[in-house]
Amino acid sequence: MTGILASQHITHLITQGAITATPEVRPEQVQPASLDLRLGTRAWRVRASFLAGEGRSVAERLAEFEMHQVDLTQGAVLEKGCVYVVPLMEGLDLPADIAAMANAKSSTGRLDLLTRTITDGGTEFDRIPAGYSGPLYAEICPRSFSVLVRPGMRLNQIRFRRGQAVLPDDELRALNDRTPLVSGPAVIEQGLGFSVDLKPGTDRLVGYRAKPHTGVIDLDRIGQYDAQEFWEKVRTDQRRIILDPGAFYILVSREAVTIPPDFAAEMAPYLAMVGEFRVHYAGFFDPGFGHAEAGGAGSRGVLEVRCHEAPFVLEHGQIVGRLIFERMAARPEMLYGAGIASNYQGQGLKLSKHFK
């Protein structure tokens, strides 16, 4: 059975020892199409981001690049602009026919907290080959805000895939004909395109921009922080904004997205030729996101946007990303938003859950 493994399959992998963990995996880590990963008890501050490389272990490379170690057991601050490597509580002993991919969780991406998974022998971030056996590590680089972390916090997540699961464009068009995947016309080319909403509302608000000098965010404090201490509101009268180099923005898609229960999706960056920016930090869309069966009526995608070297004019309706749809190996026993305390079902323009 090919496709993205559902929650019940993930539970089976845990039972069979293909997913190992110390302490053992908690039930709330299992999501409809992914498993949340937990930070361990120690972080290594390193000189630079790195991949282990073929035939080499992360532990070997840490010895090369380590600056100092940080004990996380009582909570510790990861400083803005620094790079850290944290061993995760979970490890893998995958069957030869199952590969995995990882991504930041939604709240992690919305804090501009660059979090990627690395492995022994790894030559790519967030991509884990079939049959991998070994530890997992999170590379964490706070880009906009320093953060307070503790062991057991869940900043990233992992999906498991057996075989080829990506829907080609013709099958994606057929799926959209049966179950509309976006509000409005569907732009399908190497996935489902989505665009940015810069149409001003009554208060002209179209997004948020991270302030450059702020306090620390404790990732355990939900709904506690005053947004205006960390974010500037972005307003416009002209259906366009100018992105500043190095600045980080929270915007929202023009389209409301629906992920049917038998499918999962991943956000991918749009072609680099369209502009000097990146849209893509937290990329997993779970089965049931925005779907009526899971209590949704379409949910807009929040866009985490970082501008690169040159100022760039971003205009309303401009296509900025695409969703790659994949088949589930089976319908999950749980759906996004359906009784599992999902934070962003039915969302519009929304900051992370840490803000009031």
pLDDT score, position 290: 80
Amino acid 61 reads: R
pLDDT score, position 348: 75
Q: 277 pLDDT band (50/70/90 cuts)?
A: confident
Query: Is it the case that residue 213 has pLDDT exceeding 90?
Result: yes
Verdict on whether the full-model pTM lies above 0.75: yes
**Cis peptide upstream of residue 23 (ω within 30 degrees of 0):** yes
Give dist(CA 347, CA 345) in Å, integer. Answer: 5
pLDDT score, position 346: 47
Percentage with pLDDT > 90 across the chain: 78
Start-to-end CA span in the chain (Å): 44
pLDDT score, position 274: 58
Q: 291 pLDDT band (50/70/90 cuts)?
A: confident
Q: What is the pLDDT of residues 294-333, one digit of tens each?
A: 555 678 888 999 888 889 999 999 988 889 999 999 999 9
Of 123-137, 175-189, 262-276, 300-314, highest mean pLDDT: 123-137
**Dihedral of CA 284/288/294/300: which sign?**
positive
Q: What is the pLDDT of residues 102-120, one digit of tens each?
A: 999 988 999 999 999 999 9
Give dist(CA 296, CA 314) in Å, integer. Answer: 29
Lowest mean pLDDT among 88-92, 175-179, 199-203, 204-208: 199-203
pLDDT score, position 278: 76
Give dist(CA 189, CA 93) in Å, integer. Answer: 36
Lowest mean pLDDT among 64-73, 81-90, 184-193, 223-232: 184-193
Rounded to a whole number of angstroms, the CA Rg of the chain reads: 20
For residue 344, give every residue at least 6 positions away whose Cβ sits within 8 Å of its Cβ, in sequence order, or none.
106, 299, 302, 350
DSSP 304: E
- Report whether 211 contacts 230 (CB < 8 A): yes
Place of tokens 């972005």: 234
Q: What is the pLDDT of residues 234-254, one digit of tens each?
A: 999 999 999 999 999 999 999
Give dist(CA 255, CA 193) in Å, integer. Answer: 10
Is it true that domain 3-162 has CATH number 2.70.40.10?
yes
According to the 3-state scheme, what is the secondary structure of 90-155?
EEEECCCCEEEEEEECHHHHHCCEEEEEEECCCCCCCEECCCCEEEEEEEEEECCCCEEECCCCCC
Positions of CATH 2.70.40.10 in the chain: 3-162, 169-327
- What is the pLDDT averaged over residues 248-275? 84
| CATH code at 169-327 | 2.70.40.10
Q: 340 pLDDT band (50/70/90 cuts)?
A: very low
Query: Is it the case that residue 94 has pLDDT exceeding 90?
Result: yes
Give dist(CA 6, CA 324) in Å, integer. Answer: 17
- What is the pLDDT averaged over residues 140-169? 97
DSSP 74: T
pLDDT score, position 270: 61
pLDDT score, position 309: 84
Share the mean pLDDT of the chain.
91
